[in-house]
Structure formats: structure tokens, C-alpha cells
């Protein structure tokens, strides 16, 4: 049996139809170096999806490897339930200096979805603890994606193939998708109208990633925040995808003028090395949970591996490297270059419906009316040419690591153009 056969025999891949897993040109990775992944046959692929948006600086980054090894010599993990861990404190202190949250407190978990789940539960209990009745609904946006647990699915929009779970979703108030230019204005009006039953608004600042990079105008977010403040409704920003430089600033909230009550972080927090997420609460939110020992004011929630020491050590070093390597400047320069090259080489093609890009989160939306698998087949043709991409429905996503070079950006775009020609010929 080859590796793909062995894989298909025992591994169940997420968001993947296993009956045709092997037909869709999967690569079986053995090693990584820089922006490249190397498969079991020794073939190299430029990782143009950053291993689904988590890889920031690249694979096998010497400084991150070193931080991980050093922490291994101390301790791999100790529980944060009722006790502390030195490296986690150091990480939280470093993060507290850069997150757009007022006097932040960090509740760590392992996945983005758990980070969102924690935010939803904190927002709900915040009002209960303060003795305010009826605040048990959330306002979320159409086409939003917040993860795959039942709570995060509930605030997420329909689509993504998850309609089958609709009977399990709890109801939320639904503002329009970012594809509607009035989405944020409508949301602000809904906050004013339904304030008495809203615990919180949940939003992906600037860009709805999984929806195919639907971008809202950054200046529109201030009105939503103002409406939340005026109505005393909590604002939850889900920066699991946008955090840690992806959009050209450390957090997208900065570009949108947002200072949320609760912030969700994940994906790039460890540079793509280890599973870690964090729910960041402002002082005001945190204070509502203070009370007597064993009292009901306590947040009775925590995950076994929340605040894993190995992940924390890597995350801390990663945060330092984002600054010392001047990564944000590279994101902005490569983003302009990517936009210009996509406009020249990809936009003119008949199959291209739209191109959307913010920082290094890009989407090429194809016209799939005559071929539902066009984006899929385009990505397969790219992989054959040594550039790893993944489609989401009609969209080819371009999400390269934040340290990608000018030559690599050019290679991605020219490969995409050639692959699209092949897929449409």
C-alpha cells in the first residue's frame, strides 16, 4: 500500500468526502522547510494555504524550534485549573501589551472553535452574574464562520455543508452577510432594536474568511461598536483567522477602530506550530465573575490542555519574531504585489467572477455554473505544479505564509493562472 492508501484506510479527514479522498490529489507530508512542504516521495510544494491559515513564519523556523526544545527541558504541560505555569504567565503578559482589549485577561483553550465557545458562555454568564435578566441571545452575521462545535456553529451562518446540523443549532439574530454593503448598518440598527435580549454581538472584524474573504469597509465597524456601547451589549471579535498579522496589522480590530469586550484568538497564535486558542476578556467582563470561593459567579469552564506550556513557549517566541522580523511590513508589501499580479494575470480570465484580498487573505471566485468542481480542479492542477492550494466551493483561496517572498508570490499567481487555463480548456 502507498501512503495515500494507508492514510485513507485509517485517517478520517475533516471537511473531506472520504469516498473520493484519494482522487483529489492529496499530498502526504513528511517534512517542511521554510514555506515549503515535502511529501513522502520527496516532492516539494509551496504552502500557499499556510496549512489552512495557521502558518505565519513558515515551517521548521529555527527560533521557534529552539523555543519548543527549551520548554521541553522544563515541562510540557501542567494544568491551569487552579494553578499557574510560568511560561503561560509570560505569554499572557506579552499578549496583554498588544491586544486591542482594555486590561485583558486570557482564558486559554486549544482550538478556535473552543475559543469562540468560551466567549459565548462568558457573555451569557456576564449578564446572569450582574443580575440582568433576559440577555440570552446573540447577534451574528450571515455567512459568518466561527468554528464547528455546536455553539460556534450556531453563531455561524448557513452553508459550509453544515445545514444538516440545523436542528441542533440554537437561534440567533441574523444580520446580513458582508456581501451586503449595508451589513454593519443593519446590524447596528438590530442592536438598538433588540438590546433587551442581546448578550453579545459576534463578528469577524474586516473580513469573513471562510465565506471566501468577504470584506467589509473598515470604517463601517465603528458604528456597530457605538451601537453596542450605547445599548450596553457586549462585542465579541473573532480574530481566529485575522489575528497575528494576517491582514497587515497585528489585529484586524486595529484597522476597524474596534476595542472588543471579548476577543477570540487562535490559528496563527503559535505560528502554526501547536494547537492553542485564547478568549480575551476586558477588565469589566472579568470583574463580573469575581465572588466568594465556590460561588456561582465562577466561570465553570476549562479544557484539559488549555494553556499548554509547549504551545505557550512557541507563542511567546512567535510574538517576538513578528516584531523583530518586521513581518507586518512584508505582509503589506506582498499584499500590494499579490493584488497587482492577480489583476494582471488572473482577473481577465473569463472564468473569474471576483477577486478579493486583504493582507495575505486572498480569494479568487470562479464562475462554477457549468462546472461545480472548477475551483477544485484548478487547485489539483496547481498542486501538480508544486503549489499547494485548497478550494472552498467556487473559491480558490490564496493565503500564503506572512514571510512569503516576492518571487514566491509571483510563482503562486503564475501557477494559478496556468492551472486555471488547464482546468477550463
Ligand X SMILES: *Cc1c(COP(=O)(O)O)cnc(C)c1O
- Rounded CA-CA distance 175/290 in Å is 33
Per CB under 6 A, does 122 bind ligand X? Answer: no
The secondary element (H helix, E strand) that includes residue 59 is: none
Q: Which stretch binds ligand X (CB under 6 A): 19-27, 108-116, 224-232, 246-254?
A: 108-116
Site pattern 267..296 for ligand X (x: CB under 6 A): x-----------------------------
Nearer to ligand X, 238 or 408 (CB): 238
* Of the residues 203, 240, 309, 322, which one makes contact with ligand X according to CB under 6 A: 240
Residue 112 lies near ligand X (rule: CB under 6 A): yes
268 in Cβ contact with 53 (< 8 Å)? yes
Supply the DSSP symbol for 139: E
Please tell me the distance from the alpha carbon of residue 273 to that of residue 64, in angstroms, as a whole number.
8
Residue keyed to cell 513581518: 327
Instruction: Tell me if 376 contacts ligand X by CB under 6 A.
Output: no
Q: What is the CA 75 to chain-centroid distance, rounded?
A: 28
The set of cell numbers assigned to 285 is 467582563
Question: Nearer Cβ to ligand X, position 34 or 147?
Answer: 147
Q: Considering beta carbons, is residue 110 or 415 the nearer one to ligand X?
A: 110
Closest by CA to 71, choosing from 61, 86, 58, is: 86
Give SS3 for 152: helix
Between 26 and 275, name the residue whose CB sits nearer to ligand X.
275
DSSP class of residue 34?
B
Assign 47 to helix, strand or coil.
Answer: strand
CA dist 73 to 4, 297, 334, Å? 35, 38, 38
Subset of 292-351 contacting ligand X (CB under 6 A): none
Closest contact distance (angstroms) between CB of 210 and ligand X is 5
- Provide the grid cell at 87: 511560561
Residue 48 in the binding site for ligand X (CB under 6 A): no
Number of H helices, E strands in the chain: 14, 17
Choose among 221, 239, 214, 210: nearest CA to 184: 221
32, 34, 104, 266: which one contacts ligand X (CB under 6 A)? 266
Q: Which residue is nearest to ligand X (CB)?
A: 112
Question: Judged by CB under 6 A, which stretch of 233-241, 281-289, 292-300, 382-390 contacts ligand X?
Answer: 233-241
Q: Which of 49, 61, 99, 113 binds ligand X (CB under 6 A)?
A: 113
Chain centroid to CA 146: 8
Question: Does residue 116 bind ligand X (CB under 6 A)?
Answer: yes
Shortest reach from residue 111's CB to ligand X, in Å: 4
Q: What is the C-alpha separation between 401 and 59, in angstroms, rounded?
A: 9
Q: Is 153 in the site for ligand X (CB under 6 A)?
A: no
CB of 338 to ligand X, least distance (A): 20
* String of contacts with ligand X for each residue 189-228, x by CB under 6 A: ---------------x----xx------------------
Does the footprint of ligand X cover residue 146 (CB under 6 A)? yes
Residues of the shown chain interacting with ligand X in the complex, contacts defined by CB under 6 A: 111-113, 116, 145-147, 204, 209-210, 238, 240-241, 266-267
Amino acid at each position: 500500500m502507498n501512503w495515500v492508501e494507508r492514510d485513507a484506510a485509517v485517517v478520517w479527514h475533516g471537511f473531506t468526502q472520504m469516498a473520493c479522498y484519494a482522487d483529489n490529489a492529496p499530498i502526504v507530508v513528511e517534512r517542511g522547510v521554510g514555506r515549503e512542504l515535502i511529501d513522502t516521495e520527496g516532492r516539494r510544494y509551496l504552502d500557499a494555504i499556510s496549512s489552512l491559515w495557521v502558518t505565519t513564519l513558515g515551517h521548521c523556523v529555527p527560533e521557534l524550534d529552539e523555543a519548543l526544545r527549551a520548554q521541553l527541558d522544563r515541562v510540557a504541560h501542567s494544568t491551569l485549573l487552579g494553578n499557574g505555569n510560568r511560561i503561560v504567565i509570560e505569554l499572557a503578559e506579552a499578549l496583554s501589551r498588544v491586544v486591542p482589549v482594555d486590561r485583558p485577561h486570557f482564558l486559554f483553550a486549544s482550538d478556535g472553535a473552543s475559543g469562540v465557545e468560551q466567549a459565548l458562555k462568558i457573555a451569557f454568564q456576564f449578564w446572569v452574574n450582574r443580575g440582568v435578566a433576559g440577555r440570552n441571545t446573540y447577534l451574528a452575521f450571515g455567512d459568518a464562520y466561527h468554528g464547528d462545535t455546536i455553539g460556534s456553529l450556531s453563531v455561524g451562518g448557513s452553508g459550509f455543508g453544515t445545514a444538516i446540523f440545523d436542528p441542533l443549532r440554537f437561534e440567533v439574530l441574523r444580520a446580513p452577510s458582508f456581501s451586503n454593503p449595508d451589513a454593519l448598518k443593519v446590524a447596528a440598527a438590530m442592536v438598538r432594536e433588540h438590546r433587551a435580549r442581546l448578550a453579545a454581538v459576534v463578528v469577524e472584524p474586516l473580513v469573513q474568511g471562510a465565506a471566501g474573504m468577504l470584506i467589509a469597509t473598515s470604517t463601517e465597524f465603528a458604528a456597530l461598536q457605538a451601537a453596542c456601547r450605547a445599548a450596553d451589549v457586549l462585542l465579541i471579535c473573532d480574530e481566529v483567522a485575522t489575528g497575528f498579522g494576517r491582514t497587515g496589522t497585528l489585529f484586524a480590530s486595529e484597522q476597524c477602530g474596534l476595542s472588543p469586550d471579548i476577543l477570540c484568538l487562535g490559528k496563527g497564535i503559535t505560528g502554526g506550530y501547536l494547537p492553542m486558542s485564547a478568549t480575551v476578556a476586558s477588565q469589566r467582563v472579568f470583574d463580573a465573575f469575581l465572588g466568594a470561593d465556590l460561588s456561582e459567579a465562577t466561570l465553570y469552564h476549562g479544557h484539559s490542555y488549555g494553556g499548554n506550556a509547549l504551545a505557550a513557549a512557541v507563542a511567546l517566541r512567535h510574538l517576538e519574531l513578528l516584531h523583530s522580523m518586521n513581518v507586518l511590513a512584508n505582509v503589506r508589501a506582498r499584499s500590494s504585489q499579490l493584488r497587482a499580479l492577480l489583476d494582471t494575470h488572473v482577473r481577465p480570465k473569463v472564468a473569474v467572477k471576483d477577486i478579493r484580498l486583504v493582507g495575505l487573505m486572498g480569494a479568487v471566485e470562479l464562475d462554477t455554473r457549468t462546472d461545480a468542481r472548477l475551483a477544485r480542479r484548478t487547485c489539483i492542477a496547481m498542486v501538480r505544479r508544486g503549489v499547494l492550494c485548497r478550494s472552498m466551493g467556487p473559491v480558490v483561496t490564496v493565503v500564503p505564509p506572512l514571510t512569503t517572498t516576492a518571487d514566491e508570490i509571483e510563482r503562486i499567481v503564475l501557477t494559478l493562472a496556468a492551472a486555471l487555463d488547464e482546468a477550463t480548456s
